[in-house]
Amino acid sequence: MSKIVFVGSNHAGTAAINTVLDNYKDNEVVVFDRNSNISFLGCGMALWIGNVIDGPEGLFYSSKDKMEAKGAKVHMETEIEDIDFENKIITGKNKNGEEIKESYDKLILATGSLPISPNIPGKDLENVQFVKLYQDAAQTIERLKNPDIKKITVIGAGYIGVELAEAFKRHGKSVTLLDLASTCLERYYDEPFTKMMEQNLLDNGIDLRFGEKVVELKGNGKVEKVVTDKGEIDTDMVVLAIGFLPNTSIGKGKIETIGNGAFKVNLKGETSVKDVYAIGDCATIYDNSKDQTSYIALASNAVRTGIVAAHNACGTELESIGVQGSNGISIYGLNMVSTGLTVNTAKMFGFDPEYTEYEDSQKPAFMKHDNNNVKVRIVYDKKTRRVLGAQMASKQDISMGIHMFSLAIQEKVTIDKLRLLDLFFLPHFNQPYNYITMAALTAK
C-alpha cells in the first residue's frame, strides 16, 4: 500500500485520482486543491456565457463528495506553501488559516496553468478580467447583465478569444477582437483556414483588429479605452485571453523544467525528482508530429497524462504513446479541426513541408439535404512523405475525420498510403472519391 498525494484536481488531477481510486483500492489517496470546485470544463465556458447551454451544472463531472465516497481525503481551498521533496512532506494552509501537513510515498502534481497577465498600464481597472475558472465565467455573466456594458474588447484571438467574441455577440454587445498577430487561430491553421474564420466573424458583426499591440488601458476607475499602437478603442469591458503558462512555482528550482517553465517529464509522467509525477497543463508531453518533447495545453492531453502517471505511481508500468495536439472549434456553424503541424509550424521545426488541399461537397450532389462543402489540407514532409498535420473546415460535423489524421501522424503514415486507404462509400455519408482520397491522390 502506498500513500499518493495529489496537488490539483481539475482534468488531469481528476483523471489520475479516479484511476487510482477505481483500480488500486488499497492505496491511500489525499487531494489538495486551491479552488472551491473540482473538474470544471473550461472549454464549455463560452457556451455558458453565450447562453448556448442552460447553466454550468453539466460542466462539472466530479466533486469532493464523489471522490470522498470512493475513499479519498480531499482538502479544498487549500494553498500549498511548501513541499519537502527530500523528506516527502507537503504543507498547505486552508481558507481558515489552518496548517495541514501530509507525508507521501508518491506525489502527483496537477497544478495546471495560469493566464498570461500582460505588463500594460491599466490592467487593474474595473471590468478588466481573465476568463479561465468557474468564478471568472460567473463574474462575466453577472457583468453582462449591466446595461452600461455595451462594448467589449477581447484581447487575444486564439480559441478562447474567438469563442468569447461569439458569446458576447450573442448578448447583443458590440465586440472587438484584437491581437498582435496578423490573424486569428494562427497556431492551429494555415492562411486559407484562418481567412475562412476571419470572414465568418466579420459576417456576424465582430470587429477585427489584427496586427495591433496593446499599449495601455485607460479609464477613471473603470476601463473606458484600449490604446494600441494604431489608435484607441472605446470599451466598457476588456477580457484578457492572451494565453497560458504552466503553473509550476511550487517546484521552482527543484524540478527540471523546459523553457516556458513546464515540468519536464518522461513518457511515464515522472519528473526529475524521485517519486514525483507531473501531469496536464503544468507538464511537458511528447509530440509525435515534431518527434520531441513539447508543451500542449489541452484538456484531452491532460486526461491521458493523468491516466498514465496514475498507473505508474501505483506500480503498473505504462508509457504514453504521445499526442498530436488534435483540436477543434465551432463558431457560428463553421466547424474547424486540426491536428499536428501546419505548414508554418512545420518549417519552424526544421521540416521541409509540402501540402495537398482539396474542397468538395461531403456527399454526392444528388443528396440535397445537409450536404455542405468540406475543405481539407494535408501537410506532409517532402523528403520522407510522412503526414505531419491536417486541417479541415466545413458547416458539416467533420470532427471524426481528424482522428484518422491524428493516428496517421502517430504511426508515421505517408501521404502515398492515404491514396488507397480503405474509406467506405455510402451516399448518406460521403462520395466515392471523397475529399480525403482526392487530396491524397492529387499530392505531388
CATH topology match: 3-114+244-313 vs 334-441? no
Query: Which strand (E) or helix (H) includes residue 405?
Result: helix 401-410
Residue in 11, 75, 184, 282 annotated catalytic: 11
pLDDT at site 257: 98
386-437 pLDDT, tens per residue?
A: 999 999 999 999 999 999 999 999 999 999 999 999 999 999 999 999 999 9
Cα–Cα distances in angstroms (integers) from residue 281 to residues 11, 19, 158, 248, 321, in the given order: 9, 18, 17, 10, 18
Distance CA 66, CA 74 (A): 10
Question: Quick one: pLDDT band at residue 294, thresholds 50, 70, 90?
Answer: very high
Q: What pLDDT digit, counting tens, does each position of 176-233 carry?
A: 999 999 999 999 999 999 999 999 999 999 999 999 999 999 999 999 999 999 999 9
Nearest 5°: the CA angle 118, 332, 128 is 25
The phi and psi torsions of 260 (rounded to 5 degrees) equal -85, 5
Question: Can you tell me the mean pLDDT for 299-327?
Answer: 97
Mean pLDDT of 115-137: 95
**CATH of segment(s) 334-441:** 3.30.390.30
User: What residues does each domain of the chain span?
Assistant: 3-114+244-313, 117-240, 334-441
Average pLDDT across the chain, whole number: 96
Would residue 11 show up in a list of annotated catalytic residues for this protein? yes
CA–CA separation, 65 vs 259, rounded Å? 38
Confidence at residue 436, expressed as pLDDT on a 0 to 100 scale? 96
pLDDT above 90 (res 12): yes
Q: Which CATH superfamily is domain 117-240 in?
A: FAD/NAD(P)-binding domain (3.50.50.60)
Q: What confidence tier does 95 reach under pLDDT thresholds 50, 70, 90? A: very high
Radius of gyration of the chain (CA): 23
Across the range 321-346, mean pLDDT stands at: 97
Q: What is the mean pLDDT of residues 37-50?
A: 92
Whether pLDDT at 1 is above 90 = no
Which contiguous run of DSSP H or E holds residue 359? Answer: strand 353-361
Biggest CA-to-CA distance, the chain: 71
pTM of the entire predicted model: 0.95
For range 49-69, the mean pLDDT: 94
Distance CA 42, CA 56 (A): 10
Domain 3-114+244-313: CATH superfamily is FAD/NAD(P)-binding domain (3.50.50.60)
- The Cα-based distances of 418 to 82, 387, 400, 436 in angstroms read 52, 9, 16, 8
What is the rounded distance in angstroms from the CA atom of residue 387 to the CA atom of residue 397? 23
Report the share of the chain in percent with pLDDT over 90. 99
Q: Hunting for cell 445537409 — which residue is that?
A: 370
Is 171 marked active-site? no
Q: What is the pLDDT of residue 420?
A: 92
